[in-house]
Amino acid sequence: MKKFVFNLLVVFVFASLVLSACGGSAPAPEKPAEQPAATEAPATEAAAATEAPAATEAPASKYEGEVAIVAWAGYVERGETDPAYDWVTEFEKQTACKVSVKTAATSDEMVTLMNQGGYDLVTASGDASNRLIAGGKVQEIDITRLPSWDTVDERLKEAPWHFVDGKHYGVPYQWGPNVLMYNTEVFKDAPTSWDVTFKEMNLPDGKSNKGRVQAFDGPIYLADAALYLKYHNPELGIDNPYDLTQEQFDAVVALLTEQRALVNRYWHDAFVQMDDFKNEGVVASGSWPFQVNLLAFEGAPIASSFPVEGATGWADSTMMHSEAPHPECAYAWMEWSLNPKLQGDLAAWFGSVPSVPAACKGNELLTDEGCATNGFDQFDTIWFWRTPIAACSTGAGNCVPYSKWVESYIAIISQ
C-alpha cells in the first residue's frame, strides 16, 4: 500500500507541474500470440534493468552526439519533475547522445511533425504509425541491432500497427486501454456498458445523463462507436471496428450524431477532463488510467470499469524517421527503451503497461501488482488504435478510409 500511495503521489506531482508548465496539455493521448509468463524471466534481469543495453556498449565515438524524439508528454523523462523518474541521464552518460524531446498532444500532430522532418524518432500510436508507414516517413527497423528484442512481449512483436508486409517499422514501447471512468457517488455499482455514454437515460441518481458525459476528441473515436454497435447490433456484421463498409460507417455516424446531444465536451486534454469531473458535473466518459489514478489520489469519487462491449486502446511504438539525422543514437535509444527498469518506471509514471513483461516484477515504483492494475491481462479484449484504410486491414477492399472518418467527425462535433 505504501508503494501504491507513493506511485500516486509521484503521478500527482508530475501532473501538477506539467499542467502549470504546459497549460494542461496531455497525450492524446490507440492479434496476440502466446504470452510468456513474466515470472519466467531470468533472475539476472532485475540487475540488468539498471545497466545499459548492449547497443550502448560501443565506443561513444560511434554515435552522432544527439537524438531528437517526438513523444507523448511524460514518455521521455530525465528526472526534472521528480528525480525518481529518470531514464535519460544514464543513457546520455553512456552514449554521449544528447536527448531532445518535442512533446506532441495528438497523433495528428505527430504525423505533421514527422512529415516536416528533422526528428529521429517518434512514439506513435496505431492511428499515426500506419499513416507514417504508408507515407514512407519511417524506415524499417533492423531488429538484429536490438539485443533486447527477444524480451518484448510476444503479443506485440508483430502487431499490425508497426509490422507491415513482413517488416518491422517500430519497437513496442507502452500500451493501455481506454477505460470507462465514472463518478462513484452517481454509480454505486460500476457501469458495465458504454450505454451510459451513448444512449440518453436516467442514471442511478435519477438524473439524465444529458450534458453529464464526454467523448474523446478525435476521428478515431468512431471506432468506439463501431465497437459498441458490433456488440449491440450484430446484424450490421461489424467484425473489426477499423474496417467499416459504407453501411456500417453510416450506422456509426448515426449513433454519434444521436450522442452529440448528450456530450458535455469532446476531450483531448487529460487535465481539462479531470477538472470537468471535479467541477463541471461530468460523471462518465471514456478515459485513460492516468486520469483515473490521479483523480482517485486527490480523493475524488472516481473509479473505472471495462465494459462488456470491450474497449479501444493505444499501443505506442518507437519509430525511426526515414531520413533520421542521427541513426546510430536512434538505434541506441531504441535498445535502451527496452530496459526493464525504464519500462517499469514509465508504466508507473503514466499508468500504462510495459512492452517488456519482465518489467512487471521487481520494480519498486510499479510494484508487482502494477501491470495487472493497468490492464496487462485485458490485452485480448482491446481493439488498439489503427488508421482505417480503403483496402481494409485484410486487403479485401471496400472499407471507408480515414479521410472520411475525419470529414464525418468534424460534421458531428460541429452540430
pLDDT, residue 24, reads: 37
pLDDT in tens, 333-379: 999 999 999 999 999 988 899 999 999 999 999 999 999 988 899 89
Q: What is the chain's mean pLDDT, rounded?
A: 87
- Cell numbers given for 412: 458531428
Predicted confidence (pLDDT) at residue 315 exceeds the cutoff of 70: yes
* Contact status, residue 381 vs residue 358, Cβ threshold 8 Å: no
CATH number for region 2-174+314-379: 3.40.190.10
In the CATH hierarchy, which top-level class contains the domain 179-287+388-413? alpha beta
Reported for 396-400, long-range contacts at CB under 8 A and 24+ positions apart, including other chains, are 398/245, 398/246, 399/243, 399/244, 399/245, 400/244, 400/245, 400/246, 400/249
Query: When comparing pLDDT for 393 and 363, which is higher?
Result: 363
State the average pLDDT over residues 196-204.
98
Whether 2-174+314-379 shares its CATH topology with 179-287+388-413 is answered yes
State the average pLDDT over residues 263-271.
91
Where does the pLDDT of residue 12 fall: very low under 50, low under 70, confident under 90, or very high at 90 and above?
Answer: very low
Q: Which residues contact 20 (CB under 8 A, 6 or more apart)?
A: none
Give the lowest-confidence range in 8-12, 161-165, 346-350, 376-380.
Answer: 8-12
pLDDT in tens, 86-138: 999 999 999 999 999 999 888 989 999 999 999 999 999 999 999 999 999 99
pLDDT, residue 154, reads: 97
Q: Could you give phi then psi for residue 163, rounded to 5 degrees? A: -110, 105
Whose grid coordinates read 524499417? 140
* Contact status, residue 230 vs residue 215, Cβ threshold 8 Å: no
Q: From CA 373, how far away is CA 35, in angstroms rounded?
A: 18
Predicted confidence (pLDDT) at residue 269 exceeds the cutoff of 70: yes
State the average pLDDT over residues 396-415.
96
- Parallel, antiparallel, or unpaired: how do β-strands 98-104 and 167-168 relate? unpaired
∠ CA 271-274-278 to the nearest 5 degrees? 140
What is the layout of strands, in order, in the sheet containing 284-287? 263-267, 213-216, 284-287, 179-183, 302-305
- Cell numbers given for 50: 539498471
Query: When comparing pLDDT for 108 and 30, which is higher?
Result: 108
Give the Å distances, CA to CA, from 414 to 101, 246, 407, 408.
Answer: 34, 22, 11, 10
Predicted confidence (pLDDT) at residue 314 exceeds the cutoff of 70: yes
Alpha carbon 262 to chain centroid, angstroms? 26
pTM of the model: 0.78
Q: Which residues contact 288 (CB under 8 A, 6 or more apart)?
A: 29, 176, 178, 179, 270, 351
Where does the pLDDT of residue 290 fall: very low under 50, low under 70, confident under 90, or very high at 90 and above?
Answer: confident
pLDDT, residue 74, reads: 85
**E strand or H helix at 336, and its extent?**
helix 327-336
pLDDT in tens, 34-91: 333 333 333 333 333 444 444 444 455 689 999 999 998 889 999 998 899 999 999 9
pLDDT, residue 61, reads: 64
Where does the pLDDT of residue 291 fall: very low under 50, low under 70, confident under 90, or very high at 90 and above?
Answer: confident
Local structure of 49: helix, strand or coil: coil
Q: From CA 17, how far away is CA 78, in angstroms rounded?
A: 14
DSSP class of 202? B
DSSP class of 68? E
Residue spans of the domains in the chain: they are 2-174+314-379, 179-287+388-413
